[in-house]
């Protein structure tokens, strides 16, 4: 991970979370830049799991690796018991790991469609 500066640290964390989700085979991984749109956070990370164990594996990997790398820890994940929609709140970065049905039903992508997507080079390389 590159050196952290106050301006880039949240973006780097968001990209790291997206990359960790991708490594556990999350689908449709996106980072949305909600600065200026949301007063709550700077970036949303969205990731889809195929089933409840997959959702659990995704959020566990993100929580474990960010703590392991001594970057940050999250508050207790919201929704972890249901396994349908888990939210990891890193303050400047909020990660939403959703079961495919919830991703479709709540359509956060459309809700935040005015937020620019952050390019994710590791995903672009995999699809190129």
pLDDT at position 126 over 80: no
- Rounded Cα distance between 22 and 54, Å, is 12
- Rounded Cα distance between 16 and 80, Å, is 21
pLDDT at 3: 46
Q: Which residue has the higher pLDDT, 125 or 51?
A: 51
pLDDT at 83: 83
Name which of 32-36, 80-84, 116-120 the model is least confident about. Answer: 80-84
- Rounded Cα distance between 67 and 78, Å, is 17
pTM over 0.95? The answer is no
CATH homologous superfamily of 9-127: Beta Polymerase, domain 2 (3.30.460.10)
pLDDT at position 128 over 60: no
Domain boundaries, the chain: 9-127
Closest CA to 66 of 18, 31, 16: 16
pLDDT digits (tens, 9 = 90+) for 43-89: 999 999 999 999 999 999 999 999 888 667 676 778 777 889 999 99
**Alpha helices (H) along the chain:** 9-23, 52-68, 100-106, 108-111, 121-127
What's the chain's average pLDDT? 88
């Amino acid at each position: 991970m590159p050196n952290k500066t106050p301006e880039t640290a949240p973006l780097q964390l968001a990209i790291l979370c997206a990359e960790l989700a991708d490594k556990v085979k999350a689908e449709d991984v996106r980072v949305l830049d909600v600065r200026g749109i949301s007063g709550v956070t700077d970036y949303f990370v969205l990731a889809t799991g195929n089933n409840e164990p997959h959702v659990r594996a995704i959020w566990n990997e993100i929580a474990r690796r960010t703590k392991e790398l001594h970057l940050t820890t999250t508050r207790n994940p919201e929704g972890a018991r249901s396994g349908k929609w888990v939210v990891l709140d890193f303050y400047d970065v909020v990660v939403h790991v959703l079961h495919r049905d919830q991703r479709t039903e709540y359509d956060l992508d459309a809700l935040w469609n005015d937020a620019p997507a952050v390019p994710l080079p590791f995903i672009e390389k995999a699809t190129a």
